[in-house]
Structure 1
Amino acid sequence: MVKNEKRLISKELAKGICTQPAISKIEKGEVCPQLDTLYMLALKLKVPLSYFINILLFENKDYIDQTVTYIEELTSRHQYQEAYHLVKAELKTKNQDPWFHSYLTWQQYYNGYQLNYYHADECLDDLKKLLKNQTIIMERFLDLKIINTIGTIYSNLGKYKESLFYYEKILSNYNGKYINPILESKNIYILRVIYNKAKTLYDAGDYQVAVETVKEGIRLSIKNHNMSLLGQLYYYQGQCYEKMTYNRDEIKHSYQQSLYFFELLENYTYVEIIKKLKKEFLE
């Protein structure tokens, strides 16, 4: 499928090249345009001709979508070993779609890092190299996922300044009106970035800014009707309130809210953790 990188409307894109309906069919992957048409489109969109040729020759959208969905199901369940082996096997395939190859490379380092197969510095170097392919990785906001992983690794290393730099790199350019429905909404993914930023601020001892970040995450969760991280956000709100010696009732309310969402989403691992660690506030 040919992507309209400059977000030109089909009428403007077609002007002087082909008809507007033809552009629509190309974008939907219903027709394969001639080389001269691709050349003119590449000039207008200011992308290399090879980008379109690679996509048209090697894209298998259904297979890619199914594989990406399965890999992300594995990582969401922390089944890093299974995800890593699947990704390594997929990377052996020749003539892959460029975006899918970048995605698999990111997942290789993400899961490999979780399994301690790669040193943090090695992961950071190679993930930063992936960011240079902006034309490719902007699709399905893979660039944001790579940047978020870099921020997380820096946070794990205790390099909070560097970590926050990468989280802010995402959030400073975030437009809440934009939604990408493919596999995972960009708006919903931003919640994960906000949560990671709040955790990093908490670990760095900046509790006031951490609380403000948590509240932004809660506000955005409500706006997008998404509960996936509300338990974690309320938990860190309680943690910050404890450090800032807030009123006991406010701390208790945060942990009660956290427990409510963990139980509602049947996240029993976190239910047990919060009941054990915050027992005094829940009785």
Structure 2
Amino acid sequence: MKSLGEAIKAGRLKKNMTQQELAEGICTQATISNIEKAGKIPAITLLLAIADRLDIDIDELYYLMGENTTKNGKIIKKVKVLCSQSNHKEAAALLKEINEAELETINEKKEYYYYKGITSLVAFHNFSDALFYFNLSNDTQGEGYISIYDVLGLSGVSIAYSMNDEDEKALVYTERTLNILDEFVAEGYEKSDTNDIVRTYFNSAKIYSKMKNYEKAVSLSSMGIALQQL
């Protein structure tokens, strides 16, 4: 298979599905057409839904999706999928294949450190390693704009403190996270960032709920729901 679009079309035809049937409940028929014919790259959640409906291994599609990226880029994309599926231990093992010295861009470094942090925290409950990597991500100077990993890095610190029952510190970083998230959203963002934004609202809501600020928790949850519905 030469491209992601060809792989999806082949899987659809194997199932004797029309584009409309594949799209039903997932996206529009036009979106499937754009993926198959124009080589459009779908968001991760959309790709997961398509792979599930076609009974295609997500890894096969994801490698095709990253066909023209670097080796490290392909690994990070696969790590992102694994984390979205709550396979953090497998993601952590895959991250070991990355040579940190070969990371070329600021964003690659921020992504790498963030995923090192979140896998340390979720898979192994290693609070100190998680904070170390989240702070590395946050301390890596940006490229003149706010990226989703500027948001996620701060959110990671707040989650780590909350899991360690250092709730006051967690609240400080949650407030910082929401401030930078407001800036990120105001500047405009890619549709593929939506799930990370919604997840940030949800994780922030959990921390406010733990602090018994239920009004704020409900407000943040409502914002996340509204954004997902859009």
With over 3 angstroms needed to count, the CA separation of the structure-2 counterparts of 1:218 and 1:109, relative to structure 1, is closer
- Identify the residue that residue 164 of structure 1 maps to in structure 2: 171
- Whether the 8 Å contact between 1:171 and 1:190 is mirrored in structure 2 is no
Superposed CA deviations along residues 157-190 of structure 1, whole A, max 9, x for unmatched, are 22222222222213223143433328x32x5422
Q: Distance in 2 between matches of 1:126 and 1:103?
A: 10
Counterpart CA distance in 2 for 1:136 and 1:88 is 26
Shift of 1:137: 9.7
Matches of 1:218 and 1:146, distance apart in 2: 22
List runs of 5+ in structure 1 lacking aligned partners.
Answer: 1-59, 226-283
Contact 2:159 2:203 in 1 (8 A): yes
Residue of structure 2 in register with 1:79 after alignment? 87
User: For residue 158 of structure 2, what is the aligned residue in structure 1?
Assistant: 151
Among candidates 138, 141, 151, match of residue 148 of structure 2: 141
Q: After the TM superposition, which residues 52-67 of structure 1 pair with which residues of structure 2 at under 5 Å, given as runs? A: 62-63=69-70, 64-67=72-75
Residue 180 (str. 1) matches residue 178 (str. 2): no
Q: 1:160 to 1:105 in 2, by over 3 A?
A: same
How far the C-alpha of 1:117 sits from its partner, in A, is 6.5
Summarize the Cα distance change of 1:136–1:122 in structure 2 as closer, same or farther, 3 Å threshold. farther
Is the alpha carbon distance of 1:66 and 1:189 closer, same or farther for their aligned partners in structure 2, counting shifts above 3 Å?
Answer: same
1:125 maps onto 2:132 in alignment: yes
TM-score (norm 1): 0.49
- Report the counterpart of residue 255 of structure 1 in structure 2: none
Alignment of 1:109-120 (within 5 A): 109-116=117-124, 118=126, 120=127
RMSD over equivalenced CA pairs, Å: 2.8
Distance 1:146 1:178 in 2: 18
- Is the alpha carbon distance of 1:165 and 1:117 closer, same or farther for their aligned partners in structure 2, counting shifts above 3 Å? closer
Instruction: Tell me the equivalent position of 2:99.
Output: 91
The answer to whether the 8 Å contact 2:205/2:218 transfers is yes
CA distance 1:85–1:153, shift in 2 (3 Å): same
- How far does residue 194 in structure 1 lie from its aligned partner after superposition? 1.1
The equivalent residue for 1:103 is 111
1:212 pairs with one of 213, 219, 225: 219
The whole-number CA distance in structure 1 between the counterparts of 2:95 and 2:145 is: 20
**8 Å contact 2:134–2:157 — kept in the other structure?**
yes
Cα distance between partner residues in 2 of 1:198 and 1:83: 26
Structure with bigger gyration radius: 1
Deviation at residue 210 of structure 1 after TM alignment: 1.8
Offset at residue 75 of structure 1 (A): 0.8
Q: Per-residue CA shift, 1:245-266, capped at 9, x if unaligned?
A: xxxxxxxxxxxxxxxxxxxxxx
> Match for 2:171: what amino acid?
L
Overall identity of the aligned pairs, in %: 16
Structure with greater contact order relative to length (CA < 8 Å, sep ≥ 6): 2
Matching residue within 197, 200, 224 for 2:204: 197
> Structure 2: which 5+ runs fail to align?
1-66
Please state which structure has a larger fraction of its residues in helix: 2
Residue type at the aligned position of 1:77: Q
